[in-house]
Structure 1
């Protein structure tokens, strides 16, 4: 069923939030698509997946890769009209971001805290209104063996976070998440050039 049909059965606040997210424009280094939303976390949900692209691949919307060489992420909007006490509101945002690290940064004890501060700074820079933020930052260090020995050692930073937006104007939250992905991938801040979110699969609700 199309959104225009199902919107009659969906709370207006969720429709407004969903439309705000779909109208966001992001940097050309990001390939962003709607993906299937989780089914058991809330009555209504929307999910996005993003890859950080090398310059030669920017533009177009190919099938999403779950583990981009340059970085990847997820953005999930949950909506429960009952406003769960743990959320402190009817909406809750969950995000995931990961990117490879240089080996020397992988052993930096402050890197996890830096990643969290980047997320908070990115949201505040976009004037996203939110509260009840929580999350974890994890450094993953891997070593290849056997047929993977040639891959050598690798380090990734993974950030998982959630927060409660104060209203349904959620474009700033998506923009902040996109800025975080670019920061983790080592891309400089820029306001030049944007790319629209690619429509891939519909939302739930």
Structure 2
């Protein structure tokens, strides 16, 4: 498939980069769609949304979600250290005891860096926050009990125009947060079946 030609007024290097974002090979565990990009962050942007498919817990599971945004400013940005900037978000529910792990935020950040390195994504100026949320239901929500989730917001500056490795690393992170380990090419997880509810 040949790259999409740049639309009139769209810088060629952004068109090439955006096309590489749209043409990634999506992991089978993810459902990915292009969404409207946020405005006001950069002159040009492309954005994706992803949800982790419920391959292990049944159709009623919510295993994780995320957003990937590629920003482009043809004038460059001293803050970014380049003309491109990736901004991503990943969130997943957790078992409460995992949410209480004092090293969870550090591990989550290391998973992102490891995913970028494993995919061979070249970048500089990575930054972000990892947030743990522990919740307890009260009143009408008391039957839900305790819950936890992890949320990672991160950004980095890619050093090339091909963004496939960056998007793939973000997808790997989403799956890791959902408890789905990275798999070699061509290997698939078996879907677990469970008995129907009464």
Using structure 2 for the length normalisation, give the TM-score: 0.87
Give the drift of 1:147: 1.7
Q: Structure 1 residues 144 and 46, CA, compared in 2 at 3 Å: closer, same or farther?
A: same
- Per the alignment, residue 70 of structure 1 pairs with 63
SS in 1 for 2:8: helix
SS in 1 for 2:74: coil
TM-superposition CA deviations, 1:38-95 (whole Å, max 9, x none)? 010000001100000112899xxxxxxxxx7100000000000110110000000000
- Per the alignment, residue 31 of structure 2 pairs with 31
- Per the alignment, residue 90 of structure 1 pairs with 83
1:143 aligns with 2:109: no
Q: 5+ unaligned residues in a row in structure 2: which ranges?
A: 189-198
- Per the alignment, residue 8 of structure 1 pairs with 8
- Per the alignment, residue 179 of structure 2 pairs with 186
The whole-number CA distance in structure 1 between the counterparts of 2:71 and 2:177 is 25
- Per the alignment, residue 17 of structure 1 pairs with 17
TM-superposition CA deviations, 1:149-197 (whole Å, max 9, x none)? 1111100000000000001110000000000000010002112379xxx
Using structure 1 for the length normalisation, give the TM-score: 0.84
1:117 aligns with 2:103: no
- Per the alignment, residue 168 of structure 1 pairs with 161
The whole-number CA distance in structure 2 between the counterparts of 1:57 and 1:140 is 22
Q: CA RMSD in A?
A: 2.1
For these two proteins, the number of residue pairs brought into alignment is 183
2:134–2:149 CA contact under 8 A, matched in 1: yes
Q: 5+ unaligned residues in a row in structure 1: which ranges?
A: 59-67, 195-205
- Per the alignment, residue 53 of structure 2 pairs with 53
- Per the alignment, residue 152 of structure 2 pairs with 159
Counterpart pick for 2:123 among 130, 154, 157: 130
1:37–1:47 CA contact under 8 A, matched in 2: yes
2:5–2:15 CA contact under 8 A, matched in 1: no
Q: Structure 1 residues 155 and 74, CA, compared in 2 at 3 Å: closer, same or farther?
A: same
1:122–1:179 CA contact under 8 A, matched in 2: yes
